[in-house]
Amino acid sequence: MLQELFSDLKHELRGALHKKKHPFKYVTLSTVDEQMAPRSRTIVLREVSESLECIVFTDARSEKAVHLNGNNKACMLAYHPKKLMQLRLDGELVIIENPLEIKRLFQKVSENAIKDYTTTMPPGSIIDSPEHVNYVTRKENNFLALKFIPHSVEYLRLKRPNHLRAIFKIEDGWKGEWIVP
């Protein structure tokens, strides 16, 4: 049954890429700041590989990018309200540096979304009003692609008479173990 759960979680996570309103399309990504405090935000899953490596996009000047300099440990959390399923992936977040891969990924960014990477000021900067955001040209963008490499996935399914909870670790070949819900 554990391998069925793993297949199910993998199917759901990868399904977020193909179903527009899938609840796993938007997940919570947590990083650790310079004071070792957790920082969480909602991000868009862009790609999920067969090995569950996930690609996300950000502005190179964002907090999460800065956090990687000191600590690249990260956590992704996804929740499916209809299935009462929660996934927590623990792992590392690394910057994609291959120019060909960056070019391929940047081509996936819609024209409307490119604007998000072209502000003159970094994300989180204080401004007087939303109308005071200035932009540079498309070629001067701050696009940064990140790869989340999981080392464990925790699966929780709320159901009766018993909740199901399991942990899968890459070091064990994604072989699962039951844990107390």
Q: Could you give the percent of the chain with pLDDT greater than 90? A: 83
Q: Kindly tell me the sign of the dihedral angle through the C-alpha atoms of 109, 27, 173, 8.
A: negative
Q: Kindly tell me the sign of the dihedral angle through the C-alpha atoms of 36, 26, 77, 68.
A: negative
135, β-bridge pairs = 119
Q: By residue range, what is the domain housing residue 127?
A: 2-178
CA distance linking residue 118 with residue 131, whole number of Å = 15
The model's pLDDT over 22-40, given as tens digits with 9 standing for 90+, comes to 999 999 999 999 999 999 9
Is the pLDDT at 84 greater than 90, yes or no?
A: yes
Q: 155: closest CA among 52, 85, 50, 55? A: 85
CATH code at position 70: 2.30.110.10
**Residue 157, number of CB atoms within 10 A of its CB:** 19
Tokens standing for 63? Answer: 């907090």
CA distance linking residue 61 with residue 78, whole number of Å = 25
Tell me what the pLDDT averaged over the chain comes to.
94
Query: What's the pLDDT at 138?
Result: 79
Query: What's the pLDDT at 69?
Result: 87
Which helix (H) or strand (E) is 58 found in, with range?
strand 54-59
The model's pLDDT over 94-111, given as tens digits with 9 standing for 90+, comes to 999 999 999 999 999 988
Q: Could you give the percent of the chain with pLDDT greater than 70? A: 100
Q: How many domains does the chain have?
A: 1
Query: What's the pLDDT at 111?
Result: 83
CA distance linking residue 13 with residue 6, whole number of Å = 11
Q: 89: closest CA among 134, 126, 54? A: 54
**Predicted confidence band of residue 170 (pLDDT cuts 50, 70, 90):** very high
**Predicted confidence band of residue 20 (pLDDT cuts 50, 70, 90):** confident
- 75 or 113: which leads in pLDDT: 75
Q: What is the mean pLDDT of residues 77-88?
A: 97
